[in-house]
Structures are given as structure tokens and as C-alpha cells.
Amino acid sequence: MHYRKIDLEQTSDYFSLNKKTPFIATGPCAIESIEQIEQSIDFFSSNHINYIRTFPYKVRTSPYDYQGIGDDILPTIKKLKIKYNIKTIAEIYSQKQLEKCIDTIDIIQIGTRFMYHRELLSDLGKINKPIILKRGFNATIQEWLLSAEFYLLEGGHNLLLCDRGIRTFENSHRNSFDITSILAVREMSDIPVIVDPSHILGKRDGISKIVKSALVAGFDGFIFESHPDPKNALSDKDQQLNFTQAAELINDINNFYKKLL
Ligand code: PEP
Ligand code: MN
């Protein structure tokens, strides 16, 4: 199989990978209120994090769990994005949502459950909308890269892959970290690959160790979850970092990365 080359310079530029720093994005699992998201954006942008999770919709396994704040928050996100000069990231999973979010969300996350949504990937490719394409929890590397092809084939070239763990027989953590995925992707493709340690572990403990091992293995950065008050979060409360822990992690990542250069 021949995989398409991407415009690595443009992608690196968009995701700030040219400066030889890892990509770092964070923010709450889901938006819960105007105060919660503004507090998060204010804190992280003043800590030099310009890629921030601003999720109006939340993909949940159960229809009885918190589904996100919904469309009404979009004008607020737009205002905050301009005020703080950040790039917003959110998962969307339908063309209807895409239409509503197109000017508000800069980077569309395609989540693990929607890696196979070829029609959406093709539509995003046609308009070269920046995306983060997560690995399906049961997808091989080849299937993951082939999903990326649906985007690339239509002319899209602004994308990151994100490994967020896969489902194995092991259930001590939410997922299993396939640290070898970076080696396999690098043999076939030049698309940068980041890691989501929050959804791999499902808990706060161990995130710092996992991100360091990911840097050693050659991954290009991270997206992790943080919340002003994780214990009372409406989703994923066990894995979100509070702001002090998140700032420490960001420091750790940057210092460790410098040592590897
Ligand atoms: C998320 O990032 O909020 C998320 C649900 O991730 P994943 O699709 O990897 O489970
Ligand atoms: Mn989450």
C-alpha cells in the first residue's frame, strides 16, 4: 500500500511543530458552563498553551450520561477564541455539527468511535479543515492510516494522528498504550502522531510517566484533559488534571523534551 505524502511543512506550521517543541493541547473533557470554559482558556493561554479543548458535544457510551452543553455555547466559544487568540479543538461527528461549528472550532477531532466516518473525513478534506484523527480503539495501524487517506485524497493536508490506546484483554487501565504504533506509522507515513494519555489511562496517576515514554519513542506531542475542579466534573472526573497538575505536566514535558534534543 502506498500512502500519500502530506505537506509536512504546512501541517507543522499549523500545529507549531516547526519550533522543535512538542504539540501540547489541553482543556476540559467537555464544556459544562461559560465560567468553566473561560477559566480554562484564561489559565492555559496564560501558560502559553494555544490549542485548547472546547467541546460543546460529548460522545458518550451511554445516552444517560452528560452529552455536552450543546449548540448554545457556540457564540461564546467564538468570542473567547478571538479574545484569547487561541485555536479551539472539538470533536464533531456529523455534517450537521460541522456546518454549525465551522467558524468556531479550528481543529476538528475525529474521535475513536468515528475513525471510520469516511464521508465526514472526505468533507473535511475538501475544505482542508485541520483535524486530529484518533485511532479507533480496535483499529490496526493500516486501518487508521487508510482513514486518513479519505481526508488526504480530497486535498486535506492539515492533520495530526492521535493514539489514545486500544482495547485489549487487559483492563487494569481504560485502554492499552500501543507505544509501538509510532514506529509502525513512521515506516509508512510522515503524518505527525500525538498521544492522549488521559483516555489511555482513564485515571490521573501515571500520566507523567506515559508522556515521557511517548517522547522517547518519538511521538510528536499530546492532548490531555484538565478541568478547574476535576472531582466535580460531569464527565471523566477520574482522569482530568487540575490546573496545578496540568501546569506541572506541561513543564515536565517541555523540560524532558529539551533533554532529548
Ligand atoms: C475525547 O477526546 O474526549 C474522547 C472521547 O476521546 P476518544 O475518542 O479517544 O475516546
Ligand atoms: Mn473525556
Measure the CA–CA gap between 87 and 150, rounded to whole angstroms.
Answer: 24
Q: What is the pLDDT of residues 120-158, one digit of tens each?
A: 999 999 999 999 999 999 999 999 999 999 999 999 999
The ligand 1 atom nearest the CA atom of 109: 2
Q: Which residues line ligand 1 (CB under 6 A)?
A: 29, 59, 91, 111-112, 134, 164, 196, 199
Instruction: Record the pTM.
Output: 0.97
Q: Is the pLDDT of residue 222 over 80?
A: yes
Q: Is the pLDDT of residue 209 over 90?
A: yes
Q: What is the pLDDT of residues 56-79, one digit of tens each?
A: 999 999 999 999 999 999 999 999
Ligand number nearest to the C-alpha of 107 = 1
Q: Is the pLDDT of residue 206 over 80?
A: yes
Backbone angles phi, psi at 24, to 5 degrees: -135, 125
The ligand 1 atom nearest the CA atom of 198: 2
Q: How far is the CA of 111 from the centre of ligand 1 (A)?
A: 5
Average pLDDT on 158-173 reads 98
The ligand 1 atom nearest the CA atom of 55: 3
pLDDT on residue 33: 98
Q: Is the pLDDT of residue 1 over 80?
A: no
Average pLDDT on 110-126 reads 98
* Chain-centroid distance, C-alpha 22: 13
Structure confidence at residue 208 as a pLDDT band (50, 70, 90): very high
